[in-house]
Amino acid sequence: MKPPSAIANDTQELIVLLHRRNGDPARLLAARVQADLKLILTSDLAEASALRRQVQQTMYAIEEVLELIDGGDLRGAWEAARDASKECRVIAQAQD
């Protein structure tokens, strides 16, 4: 499982890709982040833990990024990626 700090770095890279309007690489990276978050959610985190809720919030933001990229709204995807990145930084800080 990828550490939360590495996932946070990926979300930062996602913001850069979307800012540069690189939709295809951004979609691939967002899908990878989504898979990494799914691994965390299927781990042994307590169902009601604050960390689990934070990971779920990040997952919602990444799902929105993917939907917006698929819809051709790279500006909206960029904004959603910023939200995901903020959520992910909170997770990474909690793990430190």
Q: Does residue 53 contact residue 45 with C-beta atoms inside 8 Å?
A: no
In this predicted structure, the answer to whether residue 95 has a pLDDT above a threshold of 90 is no
Q: What is the arithmetic mean of pLDDT over 39-63?
A: 86
Confidence of residue 28 (pLDDT cuts 50, 70, 90): very high
Q: What is the pLDDT of residue 85?
A: 95
Q: What is the pLDDT of residue 46?
A: 67
Task: Output the CATH code of domain 4-95.
Answer: 1.20.120
| Mean pLDDT taken over the chain | 92
**For the chain, which residues make up each domain, given as ranges?**
4-95
* pTM for the predicted model, two decimal places: 0.92
